[in-house]
Chains A and B, each alone.
Chain A
């Protein structure tokens, strides 16, 4: 089997030049694209004691059935949910724009509440007034001491997806094999890899790899940018690692992989 180094060394000069040429455009467009998909229009209210108290009321009414009154993910409806509801006391979140190991931003929490997690029991709470969703964000953060000092969080910059050409898909397929995505997600992406049945999350609970051929199963969404973000940030607390180090300075190759995964469901 070819190593990643061997594969990467085969990058053509043409590819390199093309990378440089699109970088500037990518940089500019990414700002607007990012703002459309992941960025919010600002917080509607402040993180105050009053809002935290209100958030508690909203949480107890809407969230505690699954996440539990104490935020440990042990609500009375949690028993049969796969994946299990988030344990907010751990301060560990799957869906972030921040690098693996870092806390999510407030917007990340708000965004997840608003959009839900596809393919799971986490509903999108868009019907909840925006003000209440922000209050929820502030209250949820109180479950973990990690948020206490509001440490700085860096946000992963997602560019504009390149065209999913045949060549890009072909390269992406090779990365899919070499990066061993198939071990969990299977060669065909159906979530039936040889390791699929053995996966557990940090709490020792069943962790099921996504069937990548079904767009609605993608927890964060199945757009190319969402896939890119998942690959870079990883899903903390689950067996899905971050590929930030593996693809450092290899943005184009990462997009190839993104395009390939994207093609599985499109």
Chain B
């Protein structure tokens, strides 16, 4: 029973963070066009879609003074997306994990889940627009899990102490809600400078909601957190930002400067505000080269005293994207992170550094036969994430090789491989099949996106725990 409850809680927590990329059919209805006007494929925006977004959800070069409540189209879109996922988590450490998988064992978890997302966006006058994004979770409906496998490290083997649970957890959450004042200093209606206020995603180069791999394959380097930390780079932030694009399609500088609370939640945990700067040069919307910088502070003390343990951290990185003809793209991100204290449990500062990134590609199968209608419906995405934490410092000593006593050997690197297939019955009706494997985790258990440092005293350190998953998801956007 305790295991059932544990699995229930773990899955509920994991799936409450599973977001999928989105498109907003409401806009297609408003303008009477197809999804492909703004999307290469859902949810991947094309150049026009990006221009539409930069201009506050208005056609580039135009303004729409009619407020959303006076428009003919109901300003609402929905997206149910039931899914099934099987995860296998193998503990290769010398000891049991803090959350109970014995050494050498593999935990299987099968999960059925359903979520329904609601979007609303539009204009509220000449310069004002808004976006709201609400998720209603119903999860998990059915879940089963078990452990099996021999013990490589001395314990006797065990074959499956299976658990099953049937239950429903209903919850709602505002993922985004912000208003934008568009075209601050000009009436060009090209989004040269906009200011937004509210709960929004920063303009991260490979934003989680617009990639074709799913949230089970997060961009790892964006998601490193210290113990009790509350910060993920590509999650929503509460704050204010100035963003836009300067120049023309031929050569444009996209930018964002934001002041945010840095917690991914409504409530801040410290008195300081975080700074985010993003700049990217776009050439013909084919080639994009950019950088990002984030400087923040977060309370990792976990107590009520906000000044107890402050981790000052930075993230700095470069990225490149090249959009090939016929819808294909290749991309890469390199990023380094520095935290001056990742662990409040251990006395004294526990500095932590990592480097890493990811490379990937997204393309339709029709690149091989452009006029083949079937192949246009199939998109493939692949991503390889890598991280190196060899500069980890524990208890004041540089650990060139991460020789934690619990690991079987040097575990300095984390790697993750993801392959995703999407089949589009219609642009707004599609099936996602994903297979992934991750070699080593940061922290344990793999809550959220397998890198949630808040989950364990070993957070911020590489653990010899591997995971793989297989996922099926059906999506309908309307």
Contact = CB atoms under 8 A, between A and B. Distances in A.
A64 B34 contact: no
Given A65-B51, A77-B49, A206-B373, A118 B32 contact: yes
Nearest to B190: A61
A125 interface: yes
Contacts of A75: 47-48, 249
Contacts of B323: 76
Contact of B62 (A77, A128, A205, A206): A128
Contacts of A127: 58-59, 62-64
Contact of A120 (B34, B41, B46, B189): B34
Given A80-B327, A123-B31, A62 B59 contact: yes
Interface in B296-353: 323, 325-327
Contacts of A65: 46-48, 51, 60, 249, 285
A180 B78 CA distance: 42
A122 B189 CA distance: 19
Given A60-B248, A69-B250, A81 B36 contact: yes
Given A69-B250, A76-B323, A127-B59, 8 more contacts: A61-B189, A62-B61, A65-B46, A75-B47, A77-B47, A80-B46, A123-B33, A124-B31
Interface string A190-224: 00000001001000111000000000100000000
Contacts of A125: 59, 62
B284 interface: yes
B40 interface: yes
Contact of B41 (A58, A80, A123, A216): A80
Contacts of B31: 123-124
Interface string B54-76: 00001111111000000000000
Interface string A51-68: 000000010111011100
Contacts of B325: 79
Interface string B408-442: 00000000000000000000000000000000000
Task: Classify the secondary structure of B's interface with A.
Answer: loop
A7 B130 CA distance: 60
B77 interface: no
A60 B49 CA distance: 15
A239 interface: no
Contacts of B33: 116, 120-123
Interface size class for chain B?
35 or more
A216 B373 CA distance: 23
Contacts of A128: 59, 61-62
Contacts of A120: 33-34
A79 B40 contact: yes
B326 A60 contact: no
Contacts of B62: 62, 125, 127-128
B99 interface: no
B327 to A, nearest CB: 4
B392 to A, nearest CB: 42
A206 B48 contact: no
> Which of A77, A121, A197, A200 has the most B CB atoms < 10 Å from its CB?
A77
A76 B36 contact: no
A197 B47 CA distance: 29
Contacts of A119: 34
Given A116-B33, A118-B32, A121-B37, A77 B58 contact: no
B371 interface: yes
B175 interface: no
A40 to B, nearest CB: 20
16 contacts: A60-B249, A60-B250, A62-B59, A62-B60, A65-B51, A69-B250, A75-B249, A77-B40, A77-B49, A80-B364, A116-B33, A119-B34, A121-B34, A121-B37, A124-B31, A216-B32
